[in-house]
Amino acid sequence: MANLTPWQQALLYANRANPYPFYAELRKTPVSRQPDGSYVVSTYQEIVSILHDPRVSSDLSKRPKAAEVAVETSAYDREPSMITSDPPAHDRVRRSAMRHFGPPHSPDLVSNQETEIQRIVTGLLDKLKGKTRIDVVDEFAYPLPVSVICAILGVPRADEPRFHGWIQAFMNGLDLGPEAATEEQQRLRKLGDQGKQDLKNYMVALLERYAKQPGPGMLSAMVNDGAEEPLSRGELLSNAMLLLFAGHETTVNLIAHSVLTLLRHGDALEKLRRRPELIVPGVEEFLRFESSVQFWPTRTALEDIEIAGTTIQKGAQVIPVYGSGNRDPDRFTNPDEIDLEREHNKHLGYSSGIHLCFGGPLARLEAQIAVGEVVRRVRNPRLVVDPPPYRHNQIFRGPRHVMVDIDGVRD
């Protein structure tokens, strides 16, 4: 693997636990053209600029064919979901979905989850009583978001083992780096394609069931929405898959990374114990420090765009690297340090602009309660393996396990 660009190196599995030195290298050229013709944007200001530029499209169908093959990243192909569409379609779909999730039509949905999240977190931590070694990912960070999103969407919790497997296969099959061509990765990719297909079939059946017999949750509400701007079947499907996927994968990583980060920064952990209210700005800092979505690959320049001394060519893929922008020293003082009280922490962990994370308020609430309770209740946690093993996926970067030795769990 000689002569790789810093971006390609950042994508290698071996560097998953710590891509940051490569990001620092990347930022020396804020917008850098890659051998495949894509442009990687790694500095904060330039990322913000790209995210707000109406000459940058998220709709893959607007990208010239040749480039499209190299980056088929969306599980929601055919009919694009809101994350891979542009206005006006994007605005219509997002508005339509938001009617059942947030203000102005559903202002209390997220805040009403608080009791249920607290109950789940309490239950999960109670189960760890008596143990001396735990896996923060499997025993805590994963079960919470998946329960919450199932309840909100109206996806039967009992089906979780099935869709979990499909989603994991899809995640493992996706590789955007130099290792994509290996025999092993090709095999995983096939499994991933199958996982995607299985998830799609499952979701179609679920949506049709709700069309016949309305049930609880957002999906049923969206299927049976008598609003002025109903979604097509294809739009319903792609967005339902997006919500299920994004609704928990990213939050798992956020919670796991937050705990990992605190265990690596004993002073921050101590401070949070003394001042629990700092969990609110703290979660923002964790989002900045280890972004659940490291970059996003579906953007395309529709015109030549001059930025930071580079001209991004019309038709080229543009990749904003949130994980790098969030460590940009020109924007964040001491970016590689944790500061629970960081001021003006306008991080890019949820992206920015019209594609700003749809479920952000929910993820925030889950992480605040979950991590806050770990800090309060878990006695003397120590990392067993550092760095922990990471999952394969480069975009949704997160630890596979976080093994921790503990002295017990308080009530």
For the chain, the 3-state helix, strand and coil shares in percent, each to the nearest 5, are: 55, 10, 40
Closest CB to another protein among residues 88, 226: 88
Report the C-alpha gap between 15 and 288 in whole angstroms: 19
Closest CB to another protein among residues 16, 94: 94
Report the C-alpha gap between 148 and 157 in whole angstroms: 9
Phi-psi region of 344 (alpha: psi -120 to 50; beta: other; left: phi over 0): left
Closest CB to another protein among residues 192, 297: 297
Report the C-alpha gap between 278 and 339 in whole angstroms: 10
Give min distance, CB of 247 to another protein, in A.
21
Closest CB to another protein among residues 78, 344: 344
Give min distance, CB of 231 to another protein, in A.
18
Tokens of 95: 């508005």
Closest CB to another protein among residues 305, 375: 305
Give min distance, CB of 218 to another protein, in A.
22
Report the C-alpha gap between 399 and 386 in whole angstroms: 11
**Type of residue at 395:** I
Closest CB to another protein among residues 12, 354: 354
Q: What is the DSSP letter of 312?
A: E
Report the C-alpha gap between 232 and 195 in whole angstroms: 23
Report the C-alpha gap between 200 and 88 in whole angstroms: 25
Give min distance, CB of 57 to another protein, in A.
5
**Whether 137 contacts 400, CB under 8 Å:** yes
Closest CB to another protein among residues 79, 373: 79
Contact residues for another protein (CB under 8 A)? 48-49, 52-57, 59, 62, 86-88, 91, 302-303, 352-354, 356
Closest CB to another protein among residues 28, 314: 314
Give min distance, CB of 75 to another protein, in A.
23
Beta bridge partners of 33: 39
Tokens of 288: 């900045």
Q: How many CB atoms lie within 10 A of CB 386?
A: 12
Q: How many CB atoms lie within 10 A of CB 201?
A: 11
Give min distance, CB of 344 to another protein, in A.
12
Among 258, 245, 289, 208, smallest CA distance to 399 is for: 258
Q: How many CB atoms lie within 10 A of CB 380?
A: 9
Give min distance, CB of 320 to another protein, in A.
14
Give min distance, CB of 155 to another protein, in A.
29
